[in-house]
């Protein structure tokens, strides 16, 4: 199957695109876009991959679902398009960065600048129906994104994986902690942020680890 995706990822994932489950997933997603309002817009489905080629990856943040409100999702987990109010989890992420590194809360919640520096912002499910959280789960996306995580973990060295909340933390079993740094925390949502997300200093810890391994730090 010919999937429009950045060339380094295409080479790595072509065998996955050729599997029967991915054909079924693609047929399902195409039909959903024809019948319903689906987020993100189709051109942004593989935005995380297109903005962060494989060789540039320094850190990985794993989300669950795209945002399901209008004008929000654009293919990067936790990120929203310019001009969109911050969802609560994203605001808490910015608050922790401010507490940790003294960086003021930005005007835009668009995290493209992180992706371009090598932060791979991957949702486990890459599409969703408008106003129906989880509506595209268990259709094949998780099989695909689990393979993406495995490939990163197996073929790269010294990547930082940020696993926030129980869902993301389940992915840790695919990651060799001798080759990579895994930072786990509660989710930044208002329900849990005060139970350990605030004060976890993960953003400064990412940069410490990158510096130790002679990689350029992230400008959060």
Helix, strand, coil shares of the chain, percent, nearest 5, are 45, 10, 45
Q: Distance between CA 165 and CA 163 in Å, rounded?
A: 7
**Residue 65 is among the residues annotated as catalytic for this protein:** yes
Sole residue written with tokens 């909340």: 165
Task: List residues bridging with 122 in a β-sheet.
Answer: 62
The answer to whether residues 8 and 54 touch, using CB atoms and an 8 Å cutoff, is yes
Cβ neighbour number for residue 204 with a 10 Å cutoff: 14
Q: What is the DSSP letter of 132?
A: B
Catalytic residue among 65, 82, 100, 146: 65
171 CB contacts (<8 Å, ≥6 apart)?
Answer: 62, 146, 149, 161, 163
Which pair of structure tokens corresponds to residue 65? 């679902």
Which pair of structure tokens corresponds to residue 103? 């960086």
The answer to whether residues 121 and 78 touch, using CB atoms and an 8 Å cutoff, is yes
Cβ neighbour number for residue 88 with a 10 Å cutoff: 13
Sole residue written with tokens 């293919």: 75
Which pair of structure tokens corresponds to residue 61? 């943040």
Q: What positions carry a catalytic annotation?
A: 65
């Amino acid at each position: 199957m010919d999937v429009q995706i950045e060339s380094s990822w295409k080479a790595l994932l072509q065998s996955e695109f050729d599997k029967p489950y991915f054909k079924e997933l693609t047929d399902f997603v195409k039909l959903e876009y024809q019948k319903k309002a689906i987020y993100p817009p189709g051109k942004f489905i593989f935005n995380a991959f297109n903005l962060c080629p494989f060789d540039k990856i320094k850190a990985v943040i794993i989300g669950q679902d795209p945002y399901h409100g209008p004008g929000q999702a654009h293919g990067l987990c936790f990120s929203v398009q310019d001009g969109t109010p911050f969802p609560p989890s994203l605001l808490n992420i910015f608050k922790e960065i401010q507490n940790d590194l003294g960086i003021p809360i930005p005007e835009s919640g668009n995290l493209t600048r992180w992706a371009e520096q090598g932060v791979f912002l991957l949702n486990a499910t890459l599409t969703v129906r408008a106003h129906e959280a989880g509506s595209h789960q268990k259709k094949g996306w998780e099989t695909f994104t689990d393979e993406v995580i495995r490939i990163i973990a197996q073929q790269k060295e010294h990547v930082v994986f940020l696993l926030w909340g129980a869902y993301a933390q389940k992915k840790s079993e695919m990651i060799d902690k001798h080759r990579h740094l895994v930072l786990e925390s509660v989710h930044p949502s208002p329900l849990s942020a005060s139970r350990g997300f605030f004060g976890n200093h993960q953003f400064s810890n990412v940069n410490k680890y990158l510096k130790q391994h002679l990689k350029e730090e992230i400008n959060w």
